[in-house]
Amino acid sequence: MRRLLLVLFCTVSFTASAQWWAVGPLKKYQRFPAIVQVKQAPFKINTQLNAAKVTRVNIAQSFYCLTINERTVMKTAQHQMRFREYADASYSFAELAKIYIQQNKLSEAKWFFLQSNNLSRQQNNDRLTIANLRELANIKSTIGDFALAQQDLTEAHDMASAHNWQDDVLLVKKCQDDLQRSKLAAIKTEAGMPGATRSTL
């Protein structure tokens, strides 16, 4: 019975063709030719991008932002001192001093740099000590205490030279040059030559 059914099925079955669209009512269907691929664009594309000229603009922080930063860093420093995290507290004091410099509070900035310096010396963090000495020298130079500023820069230079830290040595030398210009400008101002001050700065 199975063989009979198989023979009948093979006899009655239709042949399948891949060209189904050319059979029956679709025989008159017209196929459009394939689209020709464009090998080259009709116009030239410049693939070289020119570097854009960007002007750097320094935007000063508002009084509100400085106040929020001051409170945040102060709270962090108090927490660190409470739990005797002196290594981290030395950086917090230095950051707090920089905030006071932006607020033009030089006395507070000087005090916090001194506190940071004391902690960095206890922790043998000479990198931070050198940075604090440079900042202290800048503050002392601003308020006119050139002798103490020179002492701080001399100590920072000796410490950087002892470790052979050439980057710090160059930064200290730059501060020393700025200090000399500030001293010369102050001397000429006291001598009654304000015009010479602008030429030296």
Contact 109, 139 (CB under 8 A): yes
Q: How many alpha carbons lie under 13 Å from residue 74 in its C-beta half-sphere?
A: 10
Q: Taking the CB of residue 133, how many other CB atoms lie within 10 A of it?
A: 26
Q: What is the mean predicted confidence (pLDDT) over 125-137?
A: 97
**158 and 98 belong to one structural domain:** no
**129 and 193 belong to one structural domain:** yes
Q: What is the mean predicted confidence (pLDDT) over 104-117?
A: 96
**Residue from 157, 156, 149 nearest 106 by CA:** 149
Q: Which of 123, 139, 170 is the last residue in one of the domains? A: 123
User: How far are the Cα atoms of 34, 35, 36, 47, 153 from residue 40, in angstroms, in the given order?
Assistant: 18, 15, 12, 15, 67
**110 and 136 belong to one structural domain:** no
**104 and 145 belong to one structural domain:** no
**108 and 138 belong to one structural domain:** no
Whether the model clears a pTM of 0.85, i.e. scores above it, the answer is no
**118 and 93 belong to one structural domain:** yes
Instruction: Flag whether 103 is in a domain.
Output: yes
Instruction: Flag whether 184 is in a domain.
Output: yes
Decide if pLDDT at 196 tops 60: no
**179 and 132 belong to one structural domain:** yes
pLDDT tens per residue across span 12-56: 555 555 555 555 565 666 677 777 776 776 667 666 767 778 888
User: How far are the Cα atoms of 83, 117, 128, 170, 180 from residue 120, in angstroms, in the given order?
Assistant: 17, 5, 6, 21, 28
pLDDT at position 201: 40
**111 and 131 belong to one structural domain:** no
Q: Which of 71, 90, 123 is the last residue in one of the domains? A: 123
**139 and 94 belong to one structural domain:** no
Instruction: Flag whether 20 is in a domain.
Output: no
User: How confident is residue 99, by pLDDT bands cut at 50, 70 and 90?
Assistant: very high
Q: What total of structural domains would you count in the chain? A: 2
User: How confident is residue 124, by pLDDT bands cut at 50, 70 and 90?
Assistant: very high
**Domain containing 68: what range?**
61-123
pLDDT tens per residue across span 144-153: 999 999 999 9
Supply the mean pLDDT for the chain. Answer: 85
